[in-house]
Amino acid sequence: MVNLEFNEDQIDALKEFINISIGAATASLANLLDAFGTMHIPKIEVCNSSELAHKIESTIDLKSMYYATKQLFTGKFGGECMFVISEVSAKNLGRHLYNVTTPSRDDINDAVIELTNILTSTIVSRLTQELNTQVQFFVPSSQFIDAYSIVSSEDVADYSKIIIISTILDFKDQKINGNIYILTKDEAIESLRVLIDRKIEEIYG
Amino acid sequence: MKREFQLKILVVDDSKIGRMSVIKSLDIVKPDADIFQAVNGLEAVEIFKKERPDVVFLDLTMPVMDGYEALKQIMAIDKKAQVIVVSADIQNEAKLRVLAVGAKNMYPKPINDEVILQIFKQDLSV
Amino acid sequence: MIALKYPDILLDSLENGHMIIDDKFIVSYWNRWLSINTQIPKGEIIGKSLKEFYPGINYKVLYRKIRTALVINTPTFYDTNSSTKFISMNRNKVTTSSLKLMQQQVTISPYILHENKVMVSIYDISELFEAKLLLKKEIAKVIRLNDKLEAEKEIIDKNIMMIKTSLSGVIIDVSTLFCQFFESQKDNLIGKNILIFKSPDIPEATYKELWETIKSKKSWSGELKNKTSNGVEKWVQTRVTPILDEYGELSEFSAVYHDITNEKLLAQLYITDPLTKLYNRAHFDEVINFIVKHQRKADVGFALVIADVDYFKSINDTYGHQVGDEALVSVANSLKNSLRENDLVARWGGEEFVIMLKNVTLDEAKMIMEKVRESVQKIKINDTISVTASFGLTKYIIGEDANKTFKRVDEALYEAKNSGRNRVVIK
């Protein structure tokens, strides 16, 4: 049985990696979505998959509707990246990307998928870069749902740890608040820990 | 030959491994330096006032007071301060912003000893 | 790795669309599937811009996706749920479905980075889409049916007493009405064995018959007596049904109860003497008449006894009616306790009792009645007042009229009274 707990130093290192990945993601987004994005300090948390539903509910407005986009990635480091963004933020995004005042549901879906795709690919690629593993990304799928339906127990059953990245993306005057949840399986966590320990070893000596 | 002065370097980053990463590289390039650490911008400014380090390695995204604000205050205390920004934010605009305030240069994380060497050669005068 | 010799033949054989375009939308490859499904032969489009053939595509979006694929070196996608984002195509399969437009999954993969070339792949997912729609419809149907079922279950639960047990009798489920009837909480019943309801007043034979019947996968109906958790006795008409699994083997038992307590109580009242709680004369008459009428071998071997409390009038006059009643009750109990379970004891009237000893010889009957006489003799009301009884005994003669038997036993009793009382006389 794999020990899936991270100690303080490991969490510190993981946060640093994610910080760097978010930096890369923000740069990609700014580049590709054609706007300067201010990178805010992402708030990073590692929790167990059983706590995910609770965590999500405690950080969002339960009365709003959300776009929840999921993108699966497989390989030795396998898992799922979920991006949750409020209807308001999604509309802003759609407006910006499609250059229309009232983006259609289809436009917004597509915009959210693009954003998720860029975020997932950049973050996961950066994290796995030094793991020397291949990652395959699958088609993202987006759902427009209420706060309570964002995650169900079947969704998280196969996963062990969730890395929660709360971030605010400022594009021009359009604030786009979103939360990124990286759902990982045991094997991925193990690979990650090996990498982190190696880095810690390198640096602390 | 006895060194005339001890090089003082302030390393600022809210992440422990972030600080250690810089410090480790510094150890190779400038092993005799006196290293000070700060975990946020506020602490950085306080230590800068007190110790007047020769070089500051500054992260941008930090709690309490971010690197950008700390940079402004440090430059206000000493307009000749030598600050190198090391950040996860790699956008060009970010670099322009910090250079405009007075940083000597900005580098993406993670930094290594080669980069440190280059920094001391090209960006700093110590 | 072996270099493919004729890669274009390979790509042409695939059942998906593949094209290669650059960031200026110039097409440099167009496979066979595309030619067939767009009706644009590759000779016509290669070297030209996609814009010439599909001006309706949002090229700003397409450009962004192409750039993203090239910059972060990873595939990008069009959302599968909107079918008209890229190239609109009709379904090529003959189908009765109303879905005429092809549902597509469009993937844009980086191809040659330094030439800004990407491969755009189109996958026909119409059938998948249809299956999804159908599934959604079926699920909605199931939910509707389920809701209806739930509503009906509610009705049954509140109006019918139902109990379900495992094969060993462990209670698995009970309806709300059942709980109310038995004055118990559902939690207190589930997990207990149904034997907690077994009543000593129901002969073992009945339970045996029940068990044997349902064990052989047949339903059993009958009357049972149960006690609620507050000790109240209830009569129920029961139907127990065995439930079989998909292999036809026993898996559970289900029983439905119907409260017949009131009918039973009424019936009992009808045949019971209120003071002594023995059967009354009407009931005894019914029984003896039945036996005499049908003359069944198992029934006609009985002996008839009349018992009369000695000096009853005197007891009443001396000590009062309450003591008199007590004496009657004590005698009744004494009779009941001294006789066998099968024997029938009834209050004949006033201070007289009638007994039917089943399947006895005269000698046996004599022995039994002597014992009974002795036990009556032991009675002491309020520790001071003695009570005795006189007994007339006769054996039923097969075939004879009940009146004749009664006449004979009356004569025996008369003799018992006249020869000193507190004795058994046989005629």
Do chain C and B touch: 3 or more Cβ pairs under 8 angstroms?
no
Going along chain A, which residue ranges are E strands?
37-39, 43-48, 65-74, 79-86, 136-137, 141-146, 161-171, 174-184
Instruction: Decide if C68 is inside a domain.
Output: yes
Q: Which of C219, C235, C265 is the last residue of a domain?
A: C265
Give the model's pLDDT for residue C126. 86
Q: Mark whether C236 and C310 lie in a shared domain.
A: no
Q: At what angle do helices C321-338 and C362-377 cross, to 10 degrees?
A: 140
Cβ separation C79–A97 shorter than 8 A: no
In a domain, C142, yes or no: no
Interface check B82 vs A, CB under 8 A: no
Set of chain A residues whose Cβ sits within 8 Å of the Cβ of B63? 41
**Does some domain include residue C136?**
no
**Phi and psi at residue C267, to the nearest 5°:** -60, -40
Q: Report the pLDDT value the prediction gives residue A153, as an integer from 0 to 100.
A: 64
- Inter-chain touch A12–B17, beta carbons under 8 Å: yes
Q: Give yes or no: residues C242 and C280 share one domain.
A: no
Same domain, C282 and C404: yes
User: Which secondary-structure segment (H or E) carries A191?
Assistant: helix A186-204
Tell me the shortest Cα–Cα distance from A9 to chain C, in angstroms: 30
- Domain membership of residue C333 (yes or no) is yes
Residues with Cβ within 8 Å of C156's Cβ and at least 6 positions away in sequence, in order, are: C162, C175
**Chain centre distance of CA B117:** 14
> Do C347 and C276 contact (CB within 8 A), yes or no?
yes
Nearest CA-CA distance, residue A151 and chain B, Å: 30
Whether C118 and C176 share a structural domain: no
Contacts of A113 in chain C (CB under 8 A): 77, 79
Range scoring the smallest mean pLDDT among B100-104, C127-131, C389-393, C397-401 = C127-131
Here the CATH number for the domain that contains residue C286 is 3.30.70.270
Taking only the tens of pLDDT, chain B with its 126 residues reads: 445 578 999 999 999 989 998 999 999 989 999 999 999 999 999 999 999 999 999 999 888 898 999 999 999 999 999 999 999 888 788 899 999 999 999 999 888 889 999 999 999 987
* B106 min Cα distance to partner chain A (Å): 14
CB contact under 8 A, A110 and C72: no
Q: Confidence class of residue A38 from pLDDT cuts 50, 70 and 90? A: low
Mean pLDDT: which of A10-24, A137-151, B11-25 is highest? B11-25
If asked whether residues C342 and C363 sit together in one domain, one would say: yes
pLDDT (tens digit per residue) in A45-83: 888 888 888 888 887 788 888 998 989 888 777 888 888
Write down the pLDDT at residue A3: 53
Whether C290 and C384 share a structural domain: yes
- Residue C1 belongs to a domain: no
Kindly state whether residues C114 and C226 are assigned to the same domain. no
User: Tell me: the pLDDT tens digits for A80-129?
Assistant: 888 888 888 888 888 877 778 888 888 888 888 888 888 888 888 887 77
What is the arithmetic mean of pLDDT over C388-394?
Answer: 95
- pTM (predicted TM-score): 0.60
pLDDT at C143: 92
- Interface contact C101, partner A, CB < 8 A: no
The pairs formed by A169-175 with CB atoms below 8 angstroms and a separation of 24 or more are A169/A26, A169/A29, A169/A37, A169/A40, A170/A37, A170/A38, A170/A40, A171/A29, A171/A33, A171/A35, A171/A36, A171/A37, A171/A96, A172/A35, A172/A36, A172/A96, A174/A92, A174/A93, A174/A95, A174/A96, A175/A89, A175/A92
Residue C269 has pLDDT above 70, yes or no: yes
The CA-CA-CA angle for residues C44, C45, C51, to 5°, reads 135
Residues C233 and C352 in one domain: no
A-chain residues near C77 (CB < 8 A) = 113, 117, 139-140
Q: How confident is the model at residue C395 (pLDDT cuts 50, 70, 90)?
A: very high
Instruction: State mean pLDDT over A174-203.
Output: 80
For residue C197, the model assigns a pLDDT of: 84
pLDDT of residue C13: 85
Q: Any contact of B with A, at least 3 CB pairs below 8 A?
A: yes
Label residue A146 by pLDDT band (50, 70, 90).
Answer: confident
Q: Do chains C and A touch (3 or more CB pairs under 8 A)?
A: yes
Q: For C94-108, C145-159, C389-403, which range has the lowest pLDDT when averaged over its residues?
A: C94-108
CATH number of the domain at C68, please.
Answer: 3.30.450.20
Supply the range of the domain harboring residue C97. Answer: 7-124
Q: Is the peptide bond before B110 cis (omega within 30 degrees of 0)?
A: yes
Instruction: Give the mean model confidence (pLDDT) for residues C198-205.
Output: 84
Count of Cβ atoms closer than 10 Å to residue C244 Cβ: 12
**Which residues, numbered 173 to 212 in chain C, qualify as contacts with chain A under a Cβ-Cβ cut-off of 8 Å?**
none
Nearest CA of chain A to the CA of B45: how many Å?
20
**C365 within some domain:** yes
A165 band by pLDDT with thresholds 50, 70 and 90:
confident
> Structural domain tally of chain C?
3
Domains of chain B, residue spans: 8-123
pLDDT, position C254: 94
- Average pLDDT score, chain A: 80
Structural domain includes residue C2: no
Residues C313 and C418 in one domain: yes
Same domain, C110 and C194: no
- CATH of segment(s) B8-123: 3.40.50.2300
- Give the ipTM of the model, two decimals please: 0.80
Check residues C209 and A169 and name the one with the higher pLDDT: C209
CATH fold for domain A8-204: Chemotaxis protein chec (3.40.1550)
Query: Residue A2 has what pLDDT?
Result: 47
* Greater pLDDT, A203 or C376: C376
HSE-up of residue C276 (Cα within 13 Å, Cβ side): 28
More reliable by pLDDT, C100 or A173: C100
Residue A125's CB is within 10 A of a number of other CB atoms, namely 18
Q: What is the rounded CA–CA span in Å between residue C114 and residue C116?
A: 5
Mean pLDDT score, A3-23: 81
Rounded (5°) CA angle C276-C277-C283: 110
- Per-residue pLDDT reduced to its tens digit, C163-185: 999 999 999 999 999 999 988 89
Cβ–Cβ below 8 Å for A205 and B24:
yes
Measured between CA atoms, how close is C105 to chain A, in angstroms?
8
Please check whether residues C258 and C288 belong to one and the same domain: no
Of the candidates C60, C71, C77, the beta carbon closest to that of A28 is on C71
